[in-house]
Amino acid sequence: MGILKTFALGGVHPEENKLSANAAIEVLDLPKQAFIPLGQNLGAPSKPLVKRGEEVKTGQLLAEAGGFISTPVHSPVSGKVFKIENILNASGYKQMGIIINVEGDEWMDDIDRSDELSTNLDYSPEEIIEKVKQAGLVGMGGATFPTYVKLMPPPGNTAEYIIINGVECEPYLTSDHRLMLEKGREIVVGTQLLMKALKVDKAIIGIENNKPDAISHMSELVKNTEGVSVQALKVQYPQGGEKQLIKATVNREVPSGKLPIAVGCVVQNVGTAFAVYEAVQKNKPLFERVVTVTGKAVKKPSNFLVRIGTPVQQLIDAAEGLPDDTGKIINGGPMMGKAISSTEVPIVKGSSGILVMKEEESHRKTENACIRCSKCTYVCPMGLEPFLLSRVSRLGKFDIAEDEMIMDCIECGSCQYTCPANIPLLDYLRLGKNKTGAIIRGRGRTA
Amino acid sequence: MNKFTISGSPHIKSDESTKKIMYGVALAMAPTMLVSIYFFGFQAIRVLVLACIASLFFEWVIQKYLIKGPVTIDDGSALVTAILLAFNLPSNLPSWMIIIGALIAIGMAKMSFGGLGRNIFNPALVARVFLLISFPVQMTSWPKPEGFSIGLSDATTGATPLGIVKEGLGAGKTMSQLKPEIPTYIQDLMGQMGGSMGEVSAIALILGGLYMLWKKIITWHIPVAMLGTVVIFTSILWGIDSEHFADPVFHLLTGGMLLGAIFMATDMVSSPMTHGGQIVFGVGIGILTVLIRVWGAYPEGVSFAILLMNAVVPLINKGFKPKRFGLKPAISKNS
């Protein structure tokens, strides 16, 4: 363990509340019905390949990629396709999805279901990328960017580092933490596969210092693995943001408006590294993931291995029920997660946690006048001025918003978390980003 | 089915609040309040209490009957303004002048700009300058800080160290001739010098400043830039001619220098938003203060300097942007 590094600008340190850190991953029962949305990645939705009434097996391809930035979707269960219709997603929108009535659990024959560690690295980069693509992998930290796209740097860019994101800076969430403790060896093999795919010889696993067991476990595992190292990081939100993690681990700054590859880095979540291992070594598509179910009123904060498409209600039941005073349910962590309107919403590839909040925690405090304390500016990890950006967004002055670099906002919420006047800064920043982005895209079309 | 609250992230909030900041500032002013009560006795309590009651009253009246909006006098901001106003007044000031001061601070400098967070100038300083110009005699006759006295009658009055030096140098005396007339540095530190209630004890002010730094209510940028500039500027003058210019330590410890640097210039509302801007702001105040003290008509220049720099804060905010992530030179297109 080296000295503790962190990123340079801004940041906050919310109460960690890692209630489920000691709860080993449990396999959750299969749902009776699985709800599988067809847009589980950032980018174009997938196109369905199955019909109503068709029998499917676990791991069978249900839908193919609908474009370059898109991924295939596989059946998380075996059974019969009940319907293909609009289903409610975590954002509160109806979205095309496949509903499957579960019958037994019959897996595709080509999936290796054994638990045995396979360390075979004898694959070409193209083979690895193809397997990752076919397995429908997306970034499992929540952004759900198709993984294979990240493994194919645009011409003129070369990767030097793979950074494996084991930061888990969101309060409450522990799925990555548990995965590192229980599937550490697989994560290391997944990391080596990613290194091969990108032809890099250096990988850094970044872990925040509030997970000392994971740091020592992973350090032990990579001791004899050439090129892979573990970097302990000072606890600081939003260190799990790509740009912040790159700054913290290799001290490079991704230029404004550019991708991490511009500074020779590719960041992948530990969950993604594990999925890469399973896809390549076990031929297993992405149809299950680890999800934390937590919250101060939850009786049994847990980490579950869950099939995609399982309704949130079932996870909450397994954590011993929804408390009566529940006011809000969040898909993800408390800083960046989305509040969901119904427990019928299914788990998707990007769901890292379900946070149940009490009624009294779930309301915002009364907004007061801005006292120009600058605290939003001090904590902004991108060096922006949230008070100014929110004001110009409110006034519709998107030209100023653009000049003041609103598009660099990573929506981490540090400003709003800190604001003494309880101003919903990020609400206005999102509005401003949305409008400014539309104006910029429109300009591109006419030019 | 339960109805769940839907709102955008983040779903948690730090325990920072306007109230916490304001009452934190009030607490940081406690040592200075105690010292002023120790030296000026019952009169100091009178000024403090009257300033607080009048300020809160005017804010309440204006919010309830003129603006007809929500009443927020419990947020602590009027209280902070009131205590700062009291710190800027001599302890023997007639009561009705204190009430006028509170009306100017709250009514004119704060509420007429739109209330908390919208005022350009520091309200307490606006009131001080208003009173200084309107009632120059009463505002510059300082009771000597003798120790606690119950008496309501005026104690012996005397000039401030800055006043003595200004007048003495003006009359052709040299610094070494003036030395016996002004308090020693130890006396300045502890509080035994003439002046406004809040100016007398450097140690109490520094204690308050350290508390605010620790609680992250203020950052070091403004006080350090301002005091550093004063030290450098006055050191140069003193180095050139130590008989006709006071030394830097004298400038630092006397008058409203520390009160201004720690509690006035650092006022969140009327100071710049970025550290770069804050340094420019502090340097500007430092230069203006020395210019006014040494060559101006008034012995004291801190209040004028801060108000003048308050006026250019919007400009400073445009020109000094935070260090942006992923952009090497942090220069704004709008500057």
Contact B273 A377 (CB under 8 A): yes
Question: Is B116's CB within 8 Å of A369's CB?
Answer: yes
Using the predicted structure, report yes or no on whether residue A298 has a pLDDT greater than 80. Answer: yes
Say if the Cβ atoms of B13 and A416 lie within 8 Å: yes
Q: Which of B21, B321, B322 sits opposite A420 (nearest CB)?
A: B21
Q: Which of residues 360-379 of A touch B (CB under 8 A)?
A: 361-365, 368-375, 377-378
Of the pLDDT bands very low, low, confident and very high (cuts 50, 70, 90), residue A324 is confident
Domains of chain B by residue range: 18-139, 159-319
Can you tell me the distance from the alpha carbon of A363 to that of A292, in angstroms, rounded to the nearest whole number? 23
From the list B11, B117, B118, the residue facing A330 with the nearest CB is B11
Cα B263–chain centre separation: 5
The DSSP string of A140-195 is TTTT--BHHHHTSPPTT----EEEEEE---SSS--HHHHHHHHSHHHHHHHHHHHH
Looking at the partner chain, which of A256, A357, A368 has a beta carbon nearest the beta carbon of B18?
A368
Nearest to A263 by CA among A276, A272, A254: A254
For residue range A387-415, what is the model confidence (pLDDT) as tens digits? 999 999 999 999 999 999 999 999 999 99
What distance in Å separates the CA atoms of residue A107 and residue A375, rounded to the nearest whole number?
53
Task: Tell me which of A103-117, B43-57, B172-186 is least confident.
Answer: B172-186
Asked if A124 has any chain B CB less than 8 Å from its own CB, the reply is no
Residues B178 and B161: beta-carbon distance below 8 Å: no
List, in order, residues 6 or more apart from A183 with CB less than 8 Å away.
Answer: A274
Q: B2, B9, B324: best mutation site toward chain A, by most A Cβ within 10 Å?
A: B9
Distances (CA, A) of A96 to A3, A34, A61: 48, 14, 16
Say if the Cβ atoms of B10 and A334 lie within 8 Å: yes
Set of chain A residues whose Cβ sits within 8 Å of the Cβ of B118:
369
Instruction: Identify the residue whose tokens are 């499957």.
Output: A100
Q: From residue A214, give the alpha-carbon distance in Å to each of A21, A42, A217, A382.
A: 11, 29, 5, 28
DSSP A271: H
| Phi and psi torsions of A296, nearest 5° | -65, -25
B113 part of contact set with chain A, CB < 8 Å: no
Question: In the structure, what pLDDT confidence band is assigned to residue B2 with cuts at 50, 70 and 90?
Answer: low
Residue A34: predicted pLDDT: 94
B45-60 pLDDT, tens digit each: 999 999 999 999 999 9
Q: Contacts of residue A312 in chain B, CB cutoff 8 Å? A: none
* pLDDT score of B20: 95
- Residue B148 — very low, low, confident or very high, per pLDDT cuts 50/70/90? low
Q: With an 8 Å Cβ cutoff, are B9 and A427 in contact?
A: no
Q: Is there a contact between A369 and B118 if contact means CB atoms under 8 Å apart?
A: yes
Residue B329 in this model has a pLDDT that exceeds 60: no
Digit-coded pLDDT (tens) for B8-67: 999 999 999 999 999 999 999 999 999 889 888 888 999 999 999 999 999 999 999 998
Candidate from B121-135, B220-234, B317-331 with smallest mean pLDDT: B317-331
DSSP state at residue A100: E
Distance separating alpha carbons of residues A288 and A275, to the nearest angstrom: 9
CATH topology classification for A1-27+110-363: Rossmann fold (3.40.50)
Closest alpha carbon within chain B to A259: B326
Write out the E strands in A200-317: 202-208, 228-233, 265-269, 288-294, 302-307
Residue A382 CA to residue A405 CA, distance in Å, equals: 9
Whole-number Å distance between alpha carbons of A221 and A236: 25
For the ranges B201-210, B234-243, B278-287, the maximum mean pLDDT occurs at B278-287
A136 touches chain B (CB under 8 A): no
By CA distance, what is A363's nearest residue in B?
Answer: B5
Going from the C-alpha of A193 to that of each of A70, A178, B66, B296, the distances in angstroms are 21, 21, 70, 74
C-alpha atoms less than 13 angstroms from C-alpha of B292 in its C-beta half-sphere: 20
| A383 interaction partners in chain B (CB closer than 8 Å) | 321-325, 327, 330
Partners of residue A381 in chain B, C-beta under 8 Å: 325
Q: In angstroms, what separates the C-alpha of B271 from chain A's closest C-alpha? A: 8
pLDDT of residue A369: 92
Binary contact (A334, B75; C-beta < 8 A) = no
Helix (H) or strand (E) holding A427: helix A425-446
| pLDDT for res B331 | 42
CB contact under 8 A, B5 and A339: yes
Structural domain boundaries in chain A: 1-27+110-363, 375-446
Contacts of A156 (CB under 8 A, 6+ apart): none
- Three-state SS for A356? strand
Nearest CA-CA partner of A382 in A100, A1, A8, A2: A8
Q: How much is the average pLDDT of B270-287? A: 96
**In this complex, do A369 and B117 lie within 8 Å of one another by their Cβ atoms?**
yes
Distance from CA of A438 to the nearest CA of B (A): 20
B13 in contact with A, Cβ within 8 Å: yes
A52 vs B: CB within 8 A: no
ipTM for the assembly: 0.88
